[in-house]
Structure 1
């Protein structure tokens, strides 16, 4: 059993900013661009080389090269990810090169209301917290320590952090936060939290 104890300082908190040029057209921005909602009708975003064309993805504009902590609220089914900027935005929906965690340049936490939590990297997915074993929370936290090469995911429950998983690696490029909202029904969302 390995316990991860991480101490955060207020300076670690990162107020993420959604890069509107990356947002897929089936994601609607709301709440001053702090929330994205999955919708059927395509939004009238201009074409852009950075936009995800086929997958319901987006990136944030913040460059993560130090220690960074953030929280999000979510529902139905989302990916909470960290990736290198070069992740493919134009590949087909089923091309793993554009999936968060489907390749060697992204790491993802998969959150599903009816299944629980999984992590994915290099297309290897591991169920880490089945819904039956958790008092289900729809708030998650991420902590990146770039110099130390760690990326940790947490469930936030009653203002407590419950560690889900830590990836350990050597990061070789600048990192960016990313999100995907996916489901067989619309209305799923992810929302950036203020602390």
Structure 2
């Protein structure tokens, strides 16, 4: 599914984020930037050891929840990896919605600051961090749409969703949002 937001576009696809040829892909990182499972593990396996070496050198203190940092993409087809830390779900009463929105927003700011015109996102915090998919999809889409409307960049934002169920949830959510291009 693809929509236009002014001169920008946003699309939703099922696939493997490590295969995206966008300027940047977003990594669902942990706060230590130490590698892990899921999207994080796939990005580090696909990109090779240079990504981890760069995160250790540039960001020895890691990255706080809701923030984002950037490295090269190693052997991946993208130019950069934007590492962001989404919140662990604790029932929604510990600032999780704001932290999740911040993770998307800060990732886009980092992309724009590094002249990225295309960015691919996974569904942040919905794997091991347990964020309910329907709630996370709404926050993700609202945040990215609002950013594209306000800043008119990057010109292309893509959600690369791992399985059909996640894609279906994002499509339903996008269809239910009210926004104007």
Q: Same fold (TM over 0.5)?
A: no
Q: Which structure has the greater CA radius of gyration?
A: 1
Higher RCO (C-alpha 8 Å, min separation 6): 2
Q: State the TM-score, normalized to the length of structure 1.
A: 0.27
Higher strand share: 1
Flag the structure with higher helix content. 2
